[in-house]
C-alpha cells in the first residue's frame, strides 16, 4: 500500500528540518557553549553574550538570507521565463556591489540603510537594462539568457574591480562578492528583516507574478498592468539582493538551485512554490554554513565557497538532465 504525504504535512516536515539545522548552527563554533549550562541557568555571562550577540544573529541572518534570495530567484525566473536566471546570473548582485563601491568612494560615512538603498537602485537599473537586452534576443535556447547575463555581470564586475584596485578597496570588494556570515553580529544584520518582509510580500502578489510569467499579451488580456507587475517584481529582487550583499556578500547558485529543484517537485504555480522555496533556501544556506564551520574546524570556510562547490555540481546535473530530456 502506498502512503501519500499531504503537501502541508511535507512542508511542516521541511520546516522541522530547518529548525533542527538552526539549532545545530547555534552550537557549532570554536567557543565552547554547553547546552546544559544554558538550560540550567549556570552558563557563564560570556557564553550567554556569545549566544545573544553572535550565534543567534548569525543563524537568523542565514535563515532570512536563504529565504529571501530563493524567493527573489524564483520571481526572476518567472518574469524572465527562464529557469537559469537569478540575481547572480543577470548582473544584479554585481551592480549592487558597484553601488556599494560608489558609496564607499563618494559618501563613506553614509548609514547602512542608505547604502542598501543606493545598491538597490544600481541593481534595479541594471536588471531593467538586462531585461531590455533579453527582449531583443530571438527566441532560442534557454541557455543563451544566463550566458548573456554572466557576460553582462562580468563586464560590471570588471569595472568594479578596476576602480576598487585604483582606490585600494579590493578587500571591501572581496567581502561583498564572497558570502561570509562569520562577521554577522547583533546590530549588523537587521537589514535582512526587510528582505524577509519582501519575501512575504511576494507571496501576497504570487498570483500576479504567475500571470505575468505567461507573457505580456496574456497579462493585458486579463486586465492587469504587465509593466507594473514586472517593475514591482524586479524592485523586490533588487532590494533583496542589495540587503544580502550589504550584510554578508554574494552566495552564488543558491536561488538557482533551490528554485529549480522546487519547481521540478511542485510545479510552476508561484503561490504553491514560494513557501517551499523559502524553506528550502533557508535549509540549504544553513547546511552550507554548518559544513563550512565543521570541515576544517577550528577554521572556517566561507558559506559562499561551500555553496559554490555544491551548487555548481547540482547546476551541472540540471543542465545535463535538461539536455538529455530535450536533446
Q: Cα separation of 201 and 95, whole Å?
A: 24
Query: CA-CA distances (angstroms) from residue 41 to 36, 37, 188?
Result: 8, 6, 27
264 burial via Cβ count (<10 Å: 0-12, 13-18, 19+): exposed
Taking 50 as the pLDDT cut, the residues of the chain under it are 1-5, 326-327
Q: Cα separation of 199 and 184, whole Å?
A: 21
The pLDDT score that the predictor gives to residue 176 is 79
Asked whether the bond before 191 is cis by omega within 30 degrees of 0, the reply is no
The pLDDT score that the predictor gives to residue 4 is 43
Query: Which three-class secondary structure state does DSSP give residue 224?
Result: coil
Q: Cα separation of 168 and 101, whole Å?
A: 11
The pLDDT score that the predictor gives to residue 291 is 92
274 burial via Cβ count (<10 Å: 0-12, 13-18, 19+): buried
Q: Cα separation of 11 and 101, whole Å?
A: 40
**The dihedral of CA 3, 9, 11, 12: what is its sign?**
negative
Give the alpha-carbon dihedral of 290, 294, 296, 300, to 10 degrees.
40
Q: Which three cell numbers stand for residue 84?
A: 537559469
Select from 97, 82, 274 the least CA-distant residue to 196: 274
CB 63, CB 18: distance < 8 Å: yes
The pLDDT score that the predictor gives to residue 185 is 84
Q: Cα separation of 315 and 269, whole Å?
A: 22
Tell me the DSSP string of 61-128.
HHHHHHHHHHHHHHHHHHHHT-TT--GGGTTHHHHHHHHHHHHHHH-TT--HHHHHHHHHHHHHHHHH
The pLDDT score that the predictor gives to residue 326 is 45
The pLDDT score that the predictor gives to residue 60 is 93
**CATH number given to 56-326:** 1.10.3470.10
Query: Which three-class secondary structure state does DSSP give residue 214?
Result: coil
The pLDDT score that the predictor gives to residue 21 is 92
Span 241-267, pLDDT tens digits: 888 888 888 888 888 888 888 888 887
Amino acid at each position: 500500500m502506498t502512503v501519500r504525504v499531504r503537501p502541508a504535512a511535507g512542508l511542516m516536515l521541511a520546516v522541522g528540518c530547518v529548525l533542527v539545522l538552526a539549532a545545530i548552527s547555534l552550537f557549532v563554533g570554536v567557543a565552547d557553549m554547553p547546552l546544559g549550562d544554558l538550560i540550567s541557568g549556570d552558563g557563564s555571562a560570556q557564553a550567554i553574550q556569545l549566544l545573544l550577540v553572535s550565534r543567534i544573529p548569525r543563524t537568523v541572518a542565514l535563515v532570512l538570507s536563504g529565504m529571501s534570495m530563493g524567493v527573489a530567484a524564483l520571481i526572476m525566473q518567472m518574469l524572465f521565463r527562464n529557469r537559469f536566471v537569478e540575481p547572480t546570473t543577470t548582473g544584479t548582485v554585481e551592480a549592487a556591489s558597484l553601488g556599494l563601491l560608489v558609496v564607499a568612494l563618494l559618501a563613506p560615512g553614509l548609514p547602512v540603510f542608505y547604502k542598501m538603498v543606493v545598491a538597490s537602485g544600481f541593481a534595479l537599473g541594471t536588471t531593467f537594462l538586462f531585461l531590455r537586452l533579453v527582449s531583443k534576443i530571438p527566441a532560442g535556447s534557454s541557455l543563451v539568457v544566463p550566458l548573456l547575463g554572466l557576460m553582462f555581470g562580468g563586464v560590471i564586475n570588471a569595472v568594479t574591480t578596476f576602480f576598487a584596485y585604483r582606490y585600494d578597496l579590493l578587500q571591501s570588494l572581496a567581502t561583498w562578492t564572497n558570502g561570509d556570515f562569520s562577521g554577522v553580529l547583533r546590530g549588523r544584520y537587521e537589514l535582512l528583516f526587510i528582505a524577509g518582509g519582501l519575501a512575504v510580500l511576494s507571496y501576497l502578489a504570487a498570483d500576479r507574478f504567475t500571470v505575468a510569467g505567461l507573457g505580456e499579451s496574456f497579462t493585458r488580456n486579463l486586465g492587469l498592468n504587465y509593466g507594473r507587475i514586472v517593475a514591482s517584481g524586479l524592485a523586490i529582487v533588487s532590494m533583496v539582493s542589495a540587503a544580502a550583499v550589504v550584510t554578508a556578500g554574494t552566495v552564488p547558485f543558491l536561488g538557482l538551485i533551490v528554485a529549480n529543484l522546487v519547481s521540478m517537485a511542485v510545479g510552476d504555480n508561484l503561490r504553491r512554490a514560494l513557501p517551499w522555496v523559502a524553506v528550502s533556501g533557508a535549509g540549504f544556506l544553513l547546511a552550507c554554513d554548518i559544513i563550512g564551520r565543521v570541515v576544517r574546524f577550528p577554521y572556517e570556510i566561507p558559506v559562499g565557497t561551500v555553496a559554490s562547490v555544491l551548487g555548481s555540481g547540482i547546476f551541472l546535473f540540471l543542465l545535463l538532465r535538461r539536455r538529455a530530456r530535450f536533446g
